[in-house]
Every structure is written in structure tokens, then in C-alpha cells.
Structure 1
Amino acid sequence: MQSRRLQGFTLIELVMVVMAFITIGIGRFVSLGAEGYLHTRDREQLQSQARFAVERITRELRDAVPNSLEVTDDEKGHCLAFRPIQYSGDYVNPSLTHIDVISGFLTQTVAPLFETNMMVVINPHKPQDFDVLSDQVAKVTAINKGTAANQWLFELDGQYSFSSGSLALRFYTYTQSVKFCLENNSLTRTTIHHSGSESQPILLAQYIDTNMSYFELDNAALARNALVAWQLTFIRNGESSRYNHTVQVMNAP
């Protein structure tokens, strides 16, 4: 007579099934923990980039020559451009007509150093006032010490007649422009020298949705200085963070 095969599971089979369920549970738990860690890491990286970008732009705008800011859209992308202040002070020229030297007292106590392509501007009100043919700018060829303490003489490359003076008798010097651009899902910084040469763009932040990020400029008015606002939207692995910030440019012409 043939023996009948008993139906059911052996102890070893039961142990293997239980171990399989435990392994699946542990694997899922570890997977969820890893996914949570990666999402937290990505979110922290985006927030760190955003804080750095906001702080960098804010700090540099505080040293912008008044009314030199401009928002443009070109082959570089959507950009915010301005001219950083090199030196600033109060001029004491009795007249700004047919002069070849600007005599002034600097706000800085350190002796100014002459640089090639140094420009001086008085009472600018719009970006066009910084054009080389403007009556508000002049090229500096040398800097000499004045007779009084912290007085300096900025020698010009010819005789200039400025079309208007500053109510506060202020003047500013600069040698270059700076441009922050939103392009190719990144935020970059480029230095443009007065000679026209440009530096290589420096990457400040990435993973930016450039379609949802922008700069806005509200030019200065009689009652307040210029306002610069921007929105940066970061997207990475499904994580999205949006940052809005506004800076008031305190320097006045």
C-alpha cells in the first residue's frame, strides 16, 4: 500500500516564511528612513543655497552706486546689473564747469588707490547717466593727496562740465559692473570691467526654476531710495522652496 503524503508546512518552512516577512518589514523601514534622510538633506541643501544667495546679493547691493541698478533680459538670461562703489565722498569744488580735478573728502579713512579705467560719477539718476558720453561721469587718471586731512584730488583726463551737481555734494568712483543672472536653472555672478571684458560666471546657486524666479526694480523716488525685489524658486527631487526678498538701496546721489 502506498503511504499518503501528509498535508501542511514543516517547522523549517514556517520559520522561513516568518523570516521573509520580517526581512520585508525591516527593508521597508530602512527604505523609508533612507528616503526621509535624502529628502531632509535635499531640503537643507536648497535652504542653504537660498540663504547664501540672498545674503550675497543683499550684501553687494548695499554698496551699489545709486541709480546704477538695471534689470535686463538678454542672452545671459534674466539679470540684475549694478556698479559697486569703489570710493565715495563729498566734493568741495565751488563749480563743476570746466574742471579737470575733483577735490573731495572720502568717507573711507584708508588712502585710495588708483586703478585703470576708474570712473567718477556725480548725481546719477538713471543707468544712462553712466554712459561714457554722459555729462555726469568722467574718467580718472590719477589720485593725489590734498592739503587737508583725508582730502584727495581726483585728476580727470580732460576738462569736464557736469550737467548737474549733487544736493549733498556726493561723488562716487567705480571701475566695474556686477551682474547676477538667472540662467540654465542657476544663479551666476559675472564681473564686467569698464573696458568691456567679462569674467567667467561664478555659480552661486543651482536647482533654480528660472521660469518662476525673477528680479524686480522699483527705481528711487523723492520720498525713498530704490527697492530691489527678487523671487528664487528652488526645485530638486520633487522638493520645492520659494524665497522672496526685498532690499532698499540706501545710497543716494
Structure 2
Amino acid sequence: MQLRRAQGFTLIELIMVMVVMAIITIGIGRFVSLGTEGYLQTRDREQLQSQARFAVERVARELRNAVPNSLKITNNGQCLSFKPIQFSGDYSNQSLTDITAIIGYVTQTATPVFQPQMRLVINPHKAQDFDVASDQVATVTAINKGAVANQWQFELDGQHSFDSGSLAQRFYTYTHSVTFCIEGNSLTHTTIDNAGSQSQPVLIAQYIDSSLSMFSIDNAALARSALVAWQFTFTRNGESSRYNHTVQVMNAP
């Protein structure tokens, strides 16, 4: 009687199969790893650029509503401050000497509403024109309807004489100032009301390189309005995005 020989794999065959499977597994794992890394890098890059675009647009949008010549750079170009317009319009006063109210028409369609610490400025040309002691600014105590349609009367805190008038007879009111600051690796937004109370900084953007980012101002001239420029460099995980932006503040005194 002939014995049947047992069927199976030899040890060498098993080892060869294990080696081949290991090579295949490593190859697949590396392929998946590269795909995952590529996805994460693309996601981080898109988040960084999206954040950068938002920061640039936020600063530009708020700057377009700045009271003329209220722009100020501090902290070696790391901070930009300005006073946003609350109401603006054309005054009809024949004289700006010893008056108790500014009478005029506002450009906004909404009814002007009085707010505490509201100030009114006429023909500002420098930062000192916004000081409380300046003859170009006065505190508003109430807003009343004028004698004719769409006319408003901005009551002042006593008798006031403005040092100079506006060629276009413009006036502006404001209640606070806004400051954008590059602090560490962040861009923040802060408001300070006319009474001096400061809000908590609001985070606008992260991953900003403060050594490569700054604000600058080219002040207004007779031929054009003020130009505000800023350079923002965002860096994250080896990715770097640089943004150079310039905004012309169209509002004129």
C-alpha cells in the first residue's frame, strides 16, 4: 500500500509570502499617508488664505468709513487707529462763531439718533483736531428736527466757536475710535469710546508674522485723499502668504 504524501507550504514559502505582504502593506500605507498629508496641507493652506483674505477685507471695509484725517499709526507701525463716521452731512450755519448748534442735512437715509459722548468735528486736518480742547470739535448733547424737511439740529454743549470751516460745509460725528493691532502672531480689533472705555480685543486673524507685517499712512494732499497701506504675512506649517494692500480714504474734510 502506497502512502499519500502530505500537502502544505514550506517554511521558506511562508516567509516569502509574509515578506511580499509586508512590502505591499508598506507601499499602500505610504500611499495613503502621502494622500492624507497632501489633504492636510491643502486644508491648512486654504484656511490660512481664507483667514488672510478676511483680515484684509475687514480692515479695508472699516477704513472706508473713517472720519477724514483721524488716521493714526502707533507702536512702530503695528497698530492703526481711526474714528469711524457715525453721521455726516452738510451744515447750513452762516457762521461758526459763538453758536450752540450745527444745523444741516445728513447723508444717511436713516434718522440720526443721539448717543452719549457723541462728538461733532468740522474741517479736521491733524490728530490734535480731535482733542476735546480743540476748536474743531464739540460735544453733541441732543439731536432735534430742523425747521424744514430732512433738516437736523445737532445741539452742542454750550456756546462754541469753530476755528475754521469746511470749504464743502461738511461735518462728521463719531462716538468711538477703532484700533487694529498686530500683537504676537495675531491681528486684533479694539474700540475705545469717547469717554475712554476700551473693549476687550477681538481676534481677527492668527498666524501673522509680526516681523514682516505693518501699517503705513500716506497722508492726504490737495490732489488726493489719504492712502493707508499694510503688509500682512501669514505663516503656518511652512506655508507663507504675503498680502500687500492699499486703501484710499475718500472722505474729505
| Shorter-chain TM-score above 0.5 | yes
Over the residues paired in the alignment, what is the CA RMSD in angstroms? 1.2
User: Counterpart of 1:5?
Assistant: none
Per-residue Cα deviation, 1:199-233 (whole angstroms, up to 9, x for no partner):
00000000100111000111000000000000111
User: Counterpart of 1:29?
Assistant: 31
Tell me, in whole angstroms, the C-alpha distance in 2 between the residues paired with 1:224 and 1:172: 19
Equivalent pair of 1:109/1:150 in contact (CA under 8 Å)? no
User: Counterpart of 2:108?
Assistant: 108
- 4+ runs deviating over 3 angstroms: none
User: Counterpart of 1:71?
Assistant: 73
User: Counterpart of 1:229?
Assistant: 229
AA aligned opposite 1:231? Q
User: Counterpart of 1:83?
Assistant: 83
Tell me, in whole angstroms, the C-alpha distance in 1 between the residues paired with 2:166 and 2:121: 10
AA aligned opposite 2:129? D
Q: How big is the shift at 1:240?
A: 0.7
Tell me, in whole angstroms, the C-alpha distance in 1 between the residues paired with 2:111 and 2:60: 27
Per-residue Cα deviation, 1:12-71 (whole angstroms, up to 9, x for no partner):
111111111111111111111111111111110111101111111111111100000001
User: Counterpart of 1:166?
Assistant: 166
Normalising to structure 1: TM-score of the pair?
Answer: 0.94
AA aligned opposite 1:17? V
Normalising to structure 2: TM-score of the pair?
Answer: 0.94
Equivalent pair of 1:81/1:177 in contact (CA under 8 Å)? yes
Gaps of 5+ in 2: 1-9
Tell me, in whole angstroms, the C-alpha distance in 2 between the residues paired with 1:218 and 1:210: 21
User: Counterpart of 2:16?
Assistant: 14
User: Counterpart of 1:209?
Assistant: 209
- Quick one: percent identity of the two aligned structures? 73
Tell me, in whole angstroms, the C-alpha distance in 2 between the residues paired with 1:88 and 1:45: 38
Tell me, in whole angstroms, the C-alpha distance in 1 between the residues paired with 2:25 and 2:11: 20
Tell me, in whole angstroms, the C-alpha distance in 2 between the residues paired with 1:165 and 1:156: 16
Count of aligned pairs:
244
**1:73-152 alignment, distance < 5 Å:** 73=75, 78-152=78-152
Per-residue Cα deviation, 1:62-106 (whole angstroms, up to 9, x for no partner):
1100000001008xx821000000000000000001111100101
Gaps of 5+ in 1: 1-7
Q: Secondary structure at the match of 1:227?
A: strand
